[in-house]
Amino acid sequence: MTNTSSTPIRLVVMEGDGIGPEITAATLAVLRAADRVFRLGLKLSPVAIGLAALRTQGNTLPDAAVAAAKAADGVILGPVSHNDYPPAAQGGRNPSGELRRQLDLFANIRPAKSRGGFPPRCGAPVDLVIVRENTEGFYADRSMFLGSGEFMPTADLALSVRKITRAGSLRIAEAAFALAQRRRGEVTAVHKANVLRVSEGLFLECVRAVAARFPAVRYEEKIIDAMAALLVRDASAFDVVVTTNMFGDILSDLAAEIAGSLGLAASLNAGAPHALAQAQHGSAPDIAGQDRANPASLIGSAAMLLAWLGERRGEDRLARAAAAIEDALERAIAKPEWRTPDLGGPLGTKAFGARVAALLEEAAR
């Protein structure tokens, strides 16, 4: 195993909008604790994006921010209020979509996991991962080489282009099967090939081709509408779920809420050379600035980033730091008096982050 632990790990931190600054600050408190305990050599560099960058630099995603993300070992991105941004010509760029595209972060890995004994909203405790294709599908900013994937040929006709490619489908399927091999060995492909025979048909053809290369992984297929019902009935029945971009976005919010709360929903956007930690949820403007948001989502995402870096760099201490953060999160959520308001608890965002950091440091003593 190569040990490159003397090389610093450069993480760019973009706090985003709404609850972004609060949950990012709590996440950094935990990362600093992990850095102290495991001597990770983290170099955390704040980079402004979102409405703060619009005010000071005239753009919600300045080119320098993209360059910093490309040059870093990893990115921590807080949620963004891109629906409040002005049009692109006036400086409004969606940092989330744009970074996924520019860093080719094709795999959005979205676990839905019941934590700390907090009961799922329905059914048995959940431990599944949605592997969502991230760079094509129905997203207007990702489906075209030039121009938008949504357009209006007449005032009364709006059209959207949905892009599915063989290369995109193969690589997301490969990511899903590789993950399933390290988990319980089951992949469910979710699709709508009964209606979208050509595009969903191509997606399924690719997933089946990859499935044939992983005979030890059990494989099944579900239609998206049935899958929504099956998740509510018993989400514990699923291990790894692979699907196209928009289905994955919707299903993962459903699965995360069933597992406990959107506030627990971590995610990693990963490509070959880059990875970006990002909570599954949005910027929650309804609770912004009130110290009420649950930062577990972004803390868990940061742990996923450390685990990804550990695997890439062959550094065990990163894997151990990721596991220690997960363990501290689990133990914090296990105590009702340490939970945040979304889980019925009394702790604010900052206090919860401090609690997780303290648990991590205590465990190391």
Question: Which residues are annotated as catalytic?
Answer: 139, 192, 225, 249, 253
Shortest CB 319 distance to ligand ATP, Å: 26
Q: Please, which residue, 287 or 329, has the CB nearer to ligand ATP?
A: 287
The residue type at 28 = L
Q: Please, which residue, 132 or 281, has the CB nearer to ligand ATP?
A: 281
Shortest CB 197 distance to ligand ATP, Å: 32
Stretch touching ligand ATP by CB under 6 A, among 54-62, 65-73, 240-248, 279-287 = 279-287
Here the tokens at position 102 are 């520019």
Question: Interface with ligand ATP includes 83 (CB under 6 A)?
Answer: yes
Shortest CB 83 distance to ligand ATP, Å: 5
Q: Looking at the DSSP assignment, which residues form a beta bridge with residue 42?
A: 9
Residues with Cβ within 8 Å of residue 337, at least 6 apart in sequence: 345, 346, 347
The residue type at 257 = E
Q: Which of 342, 352, 353, 357 binds ligand ATP (CB under 6 A)?
A: 342
Site string for ligand ATP, 22-51 (x = CB under 6 A): -x----------------------------
Stretch touching ligand ATP by CB under 6 A, among 16-24, 28-36, 112-120, 325-333 = 16-24
Q: Please, which residue, 317 or 339, has the CB nearer to ligand ATP?
A: 339
Shortest CB 19 distance to ligand ATP, Å: 6
Question: Interface with ligand ATP includes 96 (CB under 6 A)?
Answer: no
Question: Interface with ligand ATP includes 76 (CB under 6 A)?
Answer: no
Question: Interface with ligand ATP includes 284 (CB under 6 A)?
Answer: yes
Q: How many residues bind ligand ATP (CB under 6 A)?
A: 19
Site string for ligand ATP, 196-215 (x = CB under 6 A): --------------------
Site string for ligand ATP, 241-270 (x = CB under 6 A): ---------------------xx-------
Minimal CB distance residue for ligand ATP = 282
Question: Interface with ligand ATP includes 301 (CB under 6 A)?
Answer: no
Shortest CB 12 distance to ligand ATP, Å: 21
Stretch touching ligand ATP by CB under 6 A, among 78-86, 106-114, 184-192, 308-316 = 78-86
Show the 3-state SS of the chain: CCCCCCCCEEEEEECCCCCHHHHHHHHHHHHHHHHHHHCCCEEEEECCCHHHHHHHHCCCCCHHHHHHHHHCCEEEECCCCHHHCCCHHHCCCCHHHHHHHHCCCCEEEEEEECCCCCCCCCCCCCEEEEEEECCCECCCCCCCCCCCCEEEEECCEEEECCECCHHHHHHHHHHHHHHHHHCCCEEEEEECCCCCCCHHHHHHHHHHHHHHHCCCCEEEEEEHHHHHHHHHHHHHHCCEEEECHHHHHHHHHHHHHHHCCHHHCCCEEECCCCEEEECCCCCCHHHCCCCCCCCHHHHHHHHHHHHHHHHHHCCHHHHHHHHHHHHHHHHHHHCHHHCCHHHCCCCCHHHHHHHHHHHHHHHHC
Q: Which residues of 54-65 are buried (b: 16+ CB within 10 A; e: fewer)?
A: beebebbbbeeb
Question: Interface with ligand ATP includes 281 (CB under 6 A)?
Answer: yes
Question: Interface with ligand ATP includes 283 (CB under 6 A)?
Answer: yes
| Residues near ligand ATP, by CB under 6 A | 18-19, 23, 79, 81, 83, 262-263, 281-287, 293-294, 297, 342
